[in-house]
C-alpha cells in the first residue's frame, strides 16, 4: 500500500452488484471528396464485418449473430478497447481502425464520452462509448466494401447552408418549432422554449450560428423530428415527419457532436489541411472549408485570409484542369503552428459567410 496506486474498488463503489460498465471506442472518420463531406459508416459492428455487406442481411441473421446490434441501420464504426494490450485509448482506437479498415488517419482527437442510460445491454451492463474524431485525406469513394462513405449532411440536412437556407427548415422544422412553442403549458415554459428555439435556429433576428449543431440536434430530437433507436430515452413520439437519414442508437447525436466540434476547430486550428492532399489549389481548400462549415465564403477574402496569414506557400506547380484559368498549387506551411499558434481558416465573429456577387 505504499506505492500510491489507485484502488478502484473504492473509486467505483457505485458499481456494486452484478451491473458493470462496458466500454467501446467509436470513431467519426471524416473525409471530403470534391465538395461532399463524408463520414465512414457501417451497418454492423466492424469487428464482425468480415465481408462486404451493402446488402441488408438483417432478416437472415440468427438470433444471436451481430447484425441486430445496429438494428439494420447504419452507425459509426466502433471497436473494442483492449484493456490489456492498448496502452492508451487513442492507441487502441488507432489499432482497431487500422486492423479493420486500413484507413490512414492523420488527425485524431477525443470527442466526447457518451454514457446515458438507454445505452443498455441485455445483460444489464451500462455501456460507455468514448468517441474520437478522425480526419483523413481526400478519398475517392470506393463503391464496394463493408464501410460506406456516407454524405455527412444526409444525416443532418438542415446544417448545409451552402445553397441558401435548406428547404426543410421552412417546410418542416420552423412550423414544428412554432407548434412546440405554442403548445407550452405555462408562460414560463413558453418563454424558455421560445428562447431556446431562437438561439438554436436563429429565429426572429437572431443570426444562424453554424457552430450550434448539437443544440439544434437535441431540440429536433426533443420535438420528435429526428429519432434515435435507443430505448428508454424520452423523445416525443414521432411527429409524422422524419428529418434526415436515421442512424442506429444515438449515433446521429455523436455525428452531430463531431460536426459541432469540427466547425469550432475550423476557426482556430488549421484542420482543413488534414483533409487535403499535400498540394492543392486555393479553391480546393475553400471547398473543404465550405463543406465543413456549411456556408459559402467570399472567394477573394478567403484567399486574402489564407495568404496574408501565410498558412500556405506556393509550390510553383500549376493545376490545369480547373475549367478556367489554371490555378497555382499550394502546400500547407507547417511553420504557422509555431508562428501563430491559434489560427484558422474561418473568422469568428460577425457574418463570416457571403454569397459572392462576383460573376
Partner DNA sequence: AGCGTTATGCTCATTGTGAGCATAGTATTC
Partner DNA sequence: GAATACTATGCTCACAATGAGCATAACGCT
By the rule CB under 7 A, 343 interacts with DNA: no
- Could you give the CA distance from residue 141 to residue 148 in angstroms, rounded to a whole number? 8
Among residue numbers 297 through 336, which ones bind DNA (CB under 7 A)?
A: 298-301, 303-305, 308, 320, 322-328
Among residue numbers 268 through 297, which ones bind DNA (CB under 7 A)?
A: 281-283
Among residue numbers 38 through 57, which ones bind a copy of itself (CB under 8 A)?
A: 45, 47-48
Q: Are strands 148-151 and 107-114 parallel, antiparallel or unpaired?
A: unpaired
Extended beta strands in the chain, E state: 21-33, 36-41, 78-80, 107-114, 126-135, 148-151, 279-280, 312-319, 327-332
By the rule CB under 7 A, 117 interacts with DNA: no
The distance of Cα 339 from the centroid of its chain, to the nearest Å, equals 29
Q: Binding partner of residue 107 among DNA, a copy of itself, none, CB under 5 to 8 Å per kind?
A: none
213, three cell numbers: 449543431
- Could you give the CA distance from residue 158 to residue 54 in angstroms, rounded to a whole number? 27
Among residue numbers 238 through 257, which ones bind a copy of itself (CB under 8 A)?
A: 248-249
* Cross-strand partners of 132: 27, 110
Output 3 or 163, the one with its CB closest to a copy of itself: 3
Tell me which stretch binds a copy of itself (CB under 8 A): 32-40, 110-118, 135-143, 282-290. Answer: 110-118
Among residue numbers 291 through 330, which ones bind a copy of itself (CB under 8 A)?
A: none
Tell me which stretch binds a copy of itself (CB under 8 A): 184-192, 218-226, 299-307, 331-339. Answer: 331-339
Among residue numbers 209 through 238, which ones bind a copy of itself (CB under 8 A)?
A: 209, 211-212, 229-231
By the rule CB under 7 A, 199 interacts with DNA: no
The neighbour count for residue 143, using CB atoms within 10 Å, is 8
Instruction: Give the residue among 248, 207, 198, 286 at the shortest CA–CA distance from 67.
Output: 248
Q: What are the residues binding DNA (CB under 7 A)? A: 281-283, 298-301, 303-305, 308, 320, 322-328, 347-352, 354, 356-359
Amino acid at each position: 500500500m505504499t506505492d500510491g496506486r489507485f484502488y478502484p474498488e473504492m473509486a467505483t463503489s457505485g458499481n456494486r452488484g452484478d451491473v458493470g460498465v462496458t466500454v467501446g471506442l467509436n470513431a467519426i472518420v471524416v473525409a471530403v471528396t470534391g465538395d461532399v463531406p463524408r463520414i465512414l459508416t457501417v451497418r454492423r459492428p466492424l469487428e464482425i464485418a468480415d465481408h462486404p455487406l451493402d446488402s441488408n442481411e438483417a432478416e437472415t441473421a440468427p438470433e444471436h449473430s451481430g447484425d441486430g446490434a445496429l438494428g439494420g441501420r447504419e452507425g459509426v464504426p466502433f471497436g473494442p478497447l483492449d484493456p490489456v494490450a492498448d496502452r492508451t485509448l487513442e492507441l487502441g482506437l488507432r489499432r482497431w481502425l487500422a486492423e479493420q479498415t486500413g484507413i490512414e488517419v492523420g488527425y485524431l482527437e477525443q470527442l466526447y464520452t457518451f454514457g446515458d442510460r438507454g445505452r443498455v445491454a441485455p445483460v444489464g451492463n451500462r455501456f460507455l462509448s468514448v468517441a474520437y474524431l478522425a480526419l483523413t485525406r481526400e478519398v475517392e469513394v470506393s463503391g464496394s466494401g463493408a464501410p460506406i462513405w456516407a454524405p455527412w449532411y444526409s444525416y443532418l440536412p438542415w446544417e448545409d447552408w451552402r445553397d441558401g437556407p435548406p428547404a426543410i427548415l421552412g417546410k418542416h422544422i420552423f412550423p414544428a418549432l412554432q407548434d412546440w412553442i405554442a403548445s407550452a403549458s405555462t408562460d414560463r415554459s413558453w418563454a424558455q422554449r421560445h428562447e431556446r428555439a431562437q438561439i438554436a435556429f436563429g429565429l426572429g433576428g437572431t443570426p444562424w450560428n453554424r457552430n450550434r449543431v448539437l443544440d439544434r440536434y437535441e431540440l429536433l430530437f426533443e420535438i420528435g423530428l429526428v429519432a434515435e433507436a435507443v430505448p428508454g430515452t424520452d423523445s416525443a413520439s414521432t411527429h409524422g415527419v422524419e428529418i434526415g437519414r436515421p442512424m442506429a442508437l444515438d449515433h446521429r447525436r455523436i455525428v452531430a457532436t463531431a460536426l459541432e466540434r469540427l466547425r469550432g476547430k475550423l476557426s482556430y486550428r488549421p484542420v482543413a489541411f488534414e483533409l487535403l492532399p499535400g498540394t492543392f489549389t486555393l479553391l480546393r481548400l475553400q471547398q473543404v472549408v465550405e463543406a465543413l462549415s456549411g456556408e459559402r465564403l467570399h472567394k477573394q477574402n478567403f484567399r486574402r485570409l489564407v495568404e496574408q496569414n501565410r498558412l500556405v506557400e506556393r509550390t510553383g506547380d500549376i493545376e490545369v484542369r480547373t475549367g478556367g484559368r489554371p490555378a497555382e498549387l499550394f502546400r500547407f506551411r507547417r511553420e504557422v503552428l509555431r508562428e501563430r499558434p491559434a489560427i484558422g481558416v474561418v473568422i469568428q465573429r460577425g457574418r463570416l459567410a457571403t454569397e459572392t456577387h462576383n460573376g
